[in-house]
Amino acid sequence: MRMIRRRNGQRSLWDAVLFGAPDPRTLMEPKLRVIDELLNDEALVDGVLDAMRGRFAKSGQRGRYGTPAEVALRMLVLKHLKDWSYEQLEWEVTGNLVYRYFCRIDGGKVPDAKTMVRLGQLLEGDALRGLFDRVVQLAAKRRATRGRKMRVDTTVVETPIRHPSDSRLCEDVTQVLCREVERARSEGLTAPRGFRNVRRSVGRRQREITQISRRASSKGFRSRASDRRNRPRLLLVGQCP
């Protein structure tokens, strides 16, 4: 378990020598400079801090020092702003002076990709909604928006799902029904008369159907390939002069 802090401590002499000149703020692109100023808001940092401390009961009192809430917030914002993967995020921040300053890391150790994955998973649901609400409030305060509407990204994304066949749907329905009946039994309710858990038998039958259909499809493919090989061909013979 690691103790969660709000921010990094005071910069060391090595940090001042390494990052004192040139000033990273002068090298920062205008859009990043505006976001850097926006992320100084204490309510945003507190929202991330509460989400990180909620992972373990004593995260704010004991354990080694972990990634500060401010660093986690800024690195996740930079990741989504640049559309990087977590590995790219670690790589880019490690070797870039401006990104180190933006993430408030300076000469410190950059959190690795696995750490950022876990931190990104913490900022979901109510925690993420709270951050969005605070950003809308800040935008309305600066008259950048009225805060009446919010656009949502509804881009269609490919997902690894299985093809819905009749046998698979039957197996899914059986799994759900048997699970709900067992849950009702655990609550002290009586199962319907004649009920029997058939999940294993339905699963075996579904696998048999899948194997038979695969053999049939492969056999049909081989027969079609054989038909193409045995198909008569037209030979064009040129006339001799």
Does 241 sit behind a cis peptide bond, omega within 30 degrees of 0 on the bond before it? no
Written as one string, the DSSP assignment of 189-212 is PPPPTT----HHHHHHHHHHHHHH
Encode pLDDT of 34-86 as tens digits.
Answer: 888 888 888 888 888 888 877 766 666 666 677 888 898 899 999 988 889 99
Q: Rounded mean pLDDT of the chain? A: 77
The number of beta carbons lying within 10 Å of the beta carbon of residue 156 is: 5
Q: How much is the pLDDT for 224?
A: 59
Sorting pLDDT into bands at 50, 70 and 90, what band is 240?
very low
Q: In the chain, what percentage of residues exceed pLDDT 70?
A: 69
Position 236 scores a pLDDT of: 43
The pLDDT of residue 12: 56
Token pair for residue 92?
């880019």
Q: Is 91 or 240 the better-scoring residue by pLDDT?
A: 91
Query: 153-197: per-residue pLDDT in tens?
Result: 677 777 666 677 777 888 888 888 888 888 888 888 877 777 788
Q: What is the per-residue pLDDT for 106?
A: 79
Check residue 160 and give its pLDDT.
67
The rounded distance, in Å, linking the Cα atoms of 117 and 7 is 20
Q: Which pLDDT score, from 0 to 100, does residue 155 have?
A: 73
Contact 131, 123 (CB under 8 A): yes
The candidate with the shortest Cα–Cα distance to 104, out of 171, 176, 191, 44, is 44
**Does the CA dihedral 36-39-42-46 come out positive or negative?**
negative
Token pair belonging to 48: 């991330």
pLDDT above 90 covers what percent of the chain?
Answer: 4
Query: Tell me, what's the pLDDT at 241?
Result: 43
* Domain layout of the chain by residue ranges: 2-141, 166-213
Q: What is the mean pLDDT of residues 223-233?
A: 56
Residue 139 buriedness (CB in 10 A; 0-12 / 13-18 / 19+): middle
Among 160, 197, 204, smallest CA distance to 175 is for: 197
